[in-house]
Amino acid sequence: MAILEHIPDLEKCVAKIDDLLRPDGVAYLQGCPLWAGSHGHHVWVLKEEGDYDSELTPEIENRTNGPLFSFVEKDKNPIPHWAHLVLTPDSLTEFLTKENVSESHARRIINFVYNVDGTMIGCCSNFKSASEIIKTFQTKFIVDAERIPSAHPNEYFTAARKKYSYWDLQTHGLMLWLKPKSYMLERVREPDPKVSVIVPFYKVEDYLGECIESIIRQDYKNIEIILVDDASPDGSRGIAQRFAAKDSRIRVLTHEKNEGLGPARNTGVHHATGFYVFFLDSDDLLHSSQAIGKLVSAAQSHSNCPVVVGGCVRLMANGKIQPVDHIDDRGGLNKSGGVVHGVEAFLAGVRLPNAYYLPPRAWGALIERTFYENLMLDFPSGEHEDLVHTPFLYFLADNVLYVKDIVVTYRYRDCSISNARWTPEMVRRYGDLWRNFKSIALRRGLENYLGDCAFKFIYHLIWRMRNNSFDDDSRTEVLNLVGNMFQDVENVTYKHEFYRSMNSVRKFVGGTFRRDKYYEWLTKSLPEDLVLDYYRNHSVLGRLSFGQWLRWF
């Protein structure tokens, strides 16, 4: 379907596609230009045969003399980009007449753009922005959207920001792929479903054996154990092969070169045959022999939840056990366990302070394999890969069950990836993670949360670096990355997270505003209203009088 912008009743269209599409089917739709894009007004006025001043008609079939006014031809488009969103019919008429468009032509253009008399709905836009279209289809479908960018911003773009988001104004057209959500409710449940436990390993010869033993000891026996050797240079592979020789449920897969934890997990999924997949890191343990069985039981009793997340505890180097989720979930509405839905699940996965709690990690969750493979949501390469994976997994699952049962013992190690000293290369890879996150968020209609997520990423980066230590050259890389991420911020909802992240950046940079590039980023990269809000409410400047504040600059 290629007429997204012309569908007058999107809700009715959604219901019809949902009725016609097979449970395992995919629908493709596209539309361009959209109403909130640079020239979503769709002006296309043709001159009839004969006198130049004859009546204008919107009938596209009448192409005898070509279009007199056309949104697709720059020299025939009488309306500046985004002006149709800012001007009223009267003010646009006045503008057109000043541009030497005849009064009769101007009236017909206005009728075409705004459907003044109600007769033009078949030709002009349905007045829906990209986000409105995506959210309407998300009521019934898992939506993957690719956006066609608009023109370069002008003064009308700036004025239109009062009503439309930056991303809606920057979306000229959309391509949508739809998969029914209903198929998740129609899956056949196996009475004893197989679970594929996927364990990537690299340089963990001191821990891998204990990890594998914790899986073998499970009371739930219908499992396969997929060990992925990510080109480990130590004795880890030999350990894996010895276990595989004794247990037919174990397979060892091999990477020719080291690709990282994320790609190793992807390899495991591609070879999995279970109804469920379960990721476990090679230096961690299943907490008890009932761990997998408890998750399967919970999943079977919540058939509408394709993702079930269990709890964990932390094993310290001195052998002591520390609680994790039992501390982090305090105050959550589902702190005793429960289902979290859609956007709330996404926000919980990003660790933004909403009403619910979900553990934001890649391992420790039971995931329906077919559902997961259909998402095509592979882990990225690089450190902290869960930041770009888990929130979107939760969002696309729509229903995520959190159970309080402890299923994983997470081993804290000073030499683990999470605790490694930061280098400039690691910072650059973190920047790649953010760009990947932003791309997926835009495809999934989550652009309104990008500002909050950007500050969450920034805070996480600086917190990690201050805890783990970093090379001196890494500081410059961080400043460049933070400056670029500021440019992706249009607004924020969670002001506390915004203030906290800004304070962490100030401490990381050091010095005063006048001596550091940070001042330039604040005034040029961030929206002015956010800068003023921070100065007035949560910085040292907020304690100054207005006159003192002006003299500061």
Would you say residue 33 has pLDDT above 80?
yes
Rounded to an integer, what distance in angstroms lies between the CA atom of residue 485 and that of residue 442?
15
Question: What pLDDT sits at residue 49?
Answer: 32
Summarize pLDDT for 249-268 with one digit per residue, the tens: 999 999 999 999 999 999 99
DSSP 525: T
Closest by CA position to 174, among listed 343, 5, 14, 374: 5
Please tell me the predicted confidence (pLDDT) of residue 225.
Answer: 98
Higher per-residue confidence, 323 vs 196: 196
pLDDT band at 344 (very low <50, low <70, confident <90, very high): very high
In this predicted structure, what is the pLDDT of residue 530? 87
Lowest model confidence (mean pLDDT) among 117-126, 168-177, 452-461: 117-126
Cβ atoms of 270 and 372 within 8 Å: the answer is no
Query: At residue 473, does pLDDT exceed 60?
Result: yes
410 close to 284: Cβ distance less than 8 angstroms: yes
Highest-confidence range of 70-84, 201-215, 317-331, 494-508, by mean pLDDT? 201-215
Q: Indicate if the pLDDT at residue 55 is higher than 60.
A: no
Q: How does residue 242 score in pLDDT terms, banded at 50, 70 and 90?
A: very high
Per DSSP, the three-state class of 17 is helix
Model pLDDT, residue 5: 82
SS3 per-residue string spanning 385-443: HHHHCHHHHHHHHCEEEEEEEEEEEEECCCCCHHHCCECHHHHHHHHHHHHHHHHHHHH
Token representation of residue 551: 């003299």
CA distance to 97, 445, 454, per residue, from 111 (Å): 15, 31, 42
Look-up of token digits 């329906």: 368
pLDDT of residue 175 exceeding 80: yes
The identity of residue 300, as a single letter, is Q
Please tell me the pTM assigned to this model.
0.84
The pLDDT score that the predictor gives to residue 375 is 87
Distance CA 42, CA 70 (A): 8
Q: How far apart are CA 410 and CA 471, in angstroms?
A: 28
- The confidence score (pLDDT) of residue 468 equals 79
Does residue 522 have a pLDDT over 80?
no
Return the minimum-mean-pLDDT range out of 107-116, 190-199, 510-519.
Answer: 510-519
**Sign of the dihedral through C-alpha 236, 224, 398, 20:** positive
Kindly report the average pLDDT of the chain as a whole number.
Answer: 85
Q: How confident is the model at residue 532 (pLDDT cuts 50, 70, 90)?
A: confident
Rounded to the nearest 5°, which phi and psi values hold at 336? -95, 15
At the top level of CATH, the class of 187-417 is alpha beta
| Beta pairing, strands 56-57 & 44-47 | antiparallel
Q: Which residues partner with 341 through β-bridges?
A: 399
Residue in 255, 258, 254, 253 with CA at minimum distance from that of residue 272: 253
Question: What does the CA dihedral 325, 330, 334, 337 come to, rounded to 10 degrees?
Answer: 40
Banded model confidence at residue 56, pLDDT cuts 50, 70, 90 = very low
Going by C-alpha positions, the residue among 316, 300, 327 that lies closest to residue 409 is 316
C-beta separation of 376 from 294 below 8 A: no
φ, ψ of residue 273 in degrees (nearest 5): -125, 0
Q: Is the pLDDT of residue 466 over 90?
A: no
Distance between CA 521 and CA 319 in Å, rounded?
45
Report pLDDT for 196: 98
Task: Name the H helices within 274-386.
Answer: 291-301, 325-328, 342-350, 369-375
Cα–Cα distances (Å) from 135 to 79, 127, 374, in that order, read 29, 15, 20
Write down how long the chain is: 553
Q: Is the pLDDT of residue 329 over 70?
A: no
Q: Phi/psi zone of residue 384: left (φ > 0), alpha (ψ -120 to 50 degrees), beta? A: left
The one-letter amino acid code at 517 reads K
Q: What is the pLDDT of residues 353-363, one digit of tens each?
A: 777 889 889 99
Backbone angles phi, psi at 466, to 5 degrees: -70, -35
What residue type is 319 in one-letter code? G
Angle at CA of residue 235, ends 229 and 237, nearest 5°? 30
Give the pair of three-digit tokens for residue 522.
Answer: 């604040």
Least confident of 77-86, 378-387, 413-422, 526-535: 413-422
Query: What residues are paired with 200 via a beta bridge?
Result: 228
Q: Which of 298 and 542 is assigned the larger pLDDT? A: 298
Q: What is the full DSSP assignment across 111-153?
A: HHHH-TTS--TTTS-----HHHHHHHHTTTEEEEEEEEE----
Residue 184's pLDDT is 57
- Tokens 């990537």, located at residue: 200
Tell whether the model's pLDDT for residue 42 goes beyond 90: no
Q: What residue spans of 255-414 are helical by DSSP H?
A: 261-270, 291-301, 325-328, 342-350, 369-375, 390-397
pLDDT greater than 80 at residue 402: yes
What average pLDDT score do residues 4-20 get? 88
Annotate 23-50 with DSSP letters as a single string.
TT--EEEEESS-TTSTTTT--EEEEPSS
Tokens in use for 500?
């906290």
- For the record, the structure tokens of 532 come out as 């003023």
Q: What is the mean pLDDT of residues 493-513?
A: 81
- Indicate the domain borders of the chain: 4-180, 187-417, 421-552
pLDDT band at 188 (very low <50, low <70, confident <90, very high): low
